[in-house]
Amino acid sequence: MIKNAIESLAQIVQHFKFEPFASMAQPIIEEVLTEHKKEQCRKGTVLTPALTIWLVLALTLRRDLNYHQTLNWLISGFRWQSLDLPAKILKDGAISHARGRLGVAVFRDIFYRLVLGLRTIESDFHGMVTAMFDGTALTMPDTKSNQEKYGKPRSGRGTGAFPQMRVVALMIMSVRQIFDVAYAPYRGKKTGEKTLMFEVLERCKLKNLLLLFDAGFYSFFCCLVHEAKRA
């Protein structure tokens, strides 16, 4: 009975959409999957490429839930069709493997396609668009490749348990949307927040941004240096 219920669910989620974001993101997701030739999946699979993408995005919204709980949250609206559907639908590791099969390039292309919609954004402050830089650090899975690329933070008490990535993002304030992001290892030369900020500024083509920074960026000096380089 459970097997039949899961097979039924696999048919339902073939074209899964996540409202209220579907109207904006679904066409982009389908377009990018087609371009990368990853829109197809084997018959009977619950984790279709589109559902896997929505699951990864939903994990950023439901940080209080683990992988399986977030998947259950996404598909909870379908449970009325199969009341015998188990709480844990997939085996451990299945979600991580599905995300790995899609690869980084798919998610990167989806992000930049969404950003394209901001290039005609209306001004919100005297003809300018307010945007803010901010930085953070992310803990990465403790894999060999992440250790080699990002390294582990060190202190007087030893080495951290997980590799860490430094991230600097530029957000358009009026719509609360990330416009661009740069990342690097947490430690090492040319990996600081100011370096990553300049990387974003070099790619930024908008001319009417009113840029906001926190004190850690030494903002006035950074703007002068950037404008001198562009001149």
DSSP state string for 145-199? HHHHHH---EETTEE-SS-EEEEEEEEETTTTEEEEEEEEESSSTT-SHHHHHHH
Q: What is the pLDDT of residues 91-107, one digit of tens each?
A: 888 888 888 889 989 99
- Residue 145: pLDDT band (50, 70, 90) is confident
- Residue 108: pLDDT band (50, 70, 90) is very high
Among candidates 68, 71, 76, which has minimal Cα distance to 93?
68
Strands 164-172 and 129-139: antiparallel
* Highest-scoring range by mean pLDDT, 71-80, 147-156, 180-189: 180-189
Q: What is the pLDDT of residue 32?
A: 94
Q: Are 10 and 46 in contact (CB under 8 A)?
A: yes
Q: Compute the average pLDDT of residues 26-37.
A: 92
Q: What is the pLDDT of residue 17?
A: 82
Q: What is the pLDDT of residues 177-197, one digit of tens each?
A: 889 999 999 888 888 888 898
Q: Compute the average pLDDT of residues 58-62.
A: 89
Q: What is the pLDDT of residues 154-164, one digit of tens each?
A: 777 777 788 99
* Residue 198 phi, psi (nearest 5): -65, -35
Q: What is the pLDDT of residue 109?
A: 94
Q: Compute the average pLDDT of residues 164-176.
A: 91
Q: What is the pLDDT of residue 37?
A: 92
- Residue 230: pLDDT band (50, 70, 90) is low
Percentage, residues of the chain above pLDDT 90: 21
- Residue 2: pLDDT band (50, 70, 90) is very low
Write down the residue that tokens 């950003």 correspond to: 115
**Residue 134 amino acid letter:** D
In terms of pLDDT, which residue wins out, 36 or 11? 36
Task: Give, in order, the Cα–Cα distances in Å from 132 to each of 102, 170, 173, 197.
Answer: 31, 6, 7, 11
- Residue 166: pLDDT band (50, 70, 90) is very high
